[in-house]
């Protein structure tokens, strides 16, 4: 918006990278939320269902979505396909996470629009580094 000289609403005018973590594992959600929220460069929200994630996407406007592939109420690949069709959200970076994807399947995630993949369990610092690579420092 700034680049096109469009006024930026205060809610969106932040130097922090907005991250939405979508997973149906409450322990993982809490752990990632705590870790990412401690970073000065991050603002984080979490969602445990398709409905909560859809609401958060529209309200929070994340730069990055960390998305479990096998959610209880939707396949993460289908969720991403819907996200990519939304003009307001099509440029959101997407990181897939899963403990059920095999290596050959992981490669297909990139063809489906994911920007990165992490097999569970993964070190939160590696996820943070990947987010930094996908979303350059904001000012």
**Tokens representing residue 45 in the block:** 């929200």
139 within domain boundaries: no
Q: What's the pLDDT tens digit per position in 113-139?
A: 999 999 999 999 999 999 999 998 765
The pLDDT of residue 105 = 84
**Tokens representing residue 27 in the block:** 């322990």
pLDDT at 65 exceeding the cut of 90: yes
Compute the distance between CA of residue 136 and CA of residue 138 in angstroms, rounded to an integer: 6
Compute the distance between CA of residue 129 and CA of residue 136 in angstroms, rounded to an integer: 11
**CATH code of residue 50:** 3.40.50.2300
| Domain extent for 20 | 16-131
Greater confidence (98 vs 15) lies with: 98
**Tokens representing residue 75 in the block:** 């396949």
| 3 burial level (CB within 10 Å; 0-12, 13-18, 19+) | exposed
7 within domain boundaries: no
Question: Are 67 and 22 in contact, with CB atoms under 8 Å apart?
Answer: yes
4 within domain boundaries: no
113 within domain boundaries: yes
Q: What's the pLDDT tens digit per position in 67-83?
A: 999 988 889 999 999 99
| % of residues, the chain, pLDDT over 90 | 73
10 within domain boundaries: no
5 within domain boundaries: no
What's the structural domain count of the chain?
1
pLDDT at 91 exceeding the cut of 50: yes
2 within domain boundaries: no
45 within domain boundaries: yes
| 4 burial level (CB within 10 Å; 0-12, 13-18, 19+) | exposed
Q: How far is CA 96 from the centre of its chain?
A: 8
């Amino acid at each position: 918006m700034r680049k096109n000289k469009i006024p930026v609403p205060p809610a969106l005018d932040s130097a922090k990278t907005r991250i939405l973590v979508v997973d149906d594992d409450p322990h993982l959600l809490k752990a990632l939320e705590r870790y990412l929220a401690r970073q000065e460069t991050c603002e984080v929200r979490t969602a445990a269902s398709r409905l909560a994630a859809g609401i958060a996407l529209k309200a929070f406007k994340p730069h990055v979505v960390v998305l479990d592939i096998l959610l209880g109420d939707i396949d993460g690949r289908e969720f991403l396909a819907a996200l990519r069709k939304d003009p307001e959200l099509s440029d959101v970076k997407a990181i897939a996470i899963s403990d059920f994807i095999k290596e050959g399947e992981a490669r297909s995630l990139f063809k489906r629009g994911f920007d990165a993949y992490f097999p569970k369990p993964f070190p939160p610092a590696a996820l943070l580094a990947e987010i930094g690579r996908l979303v350059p420092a904001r000012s």
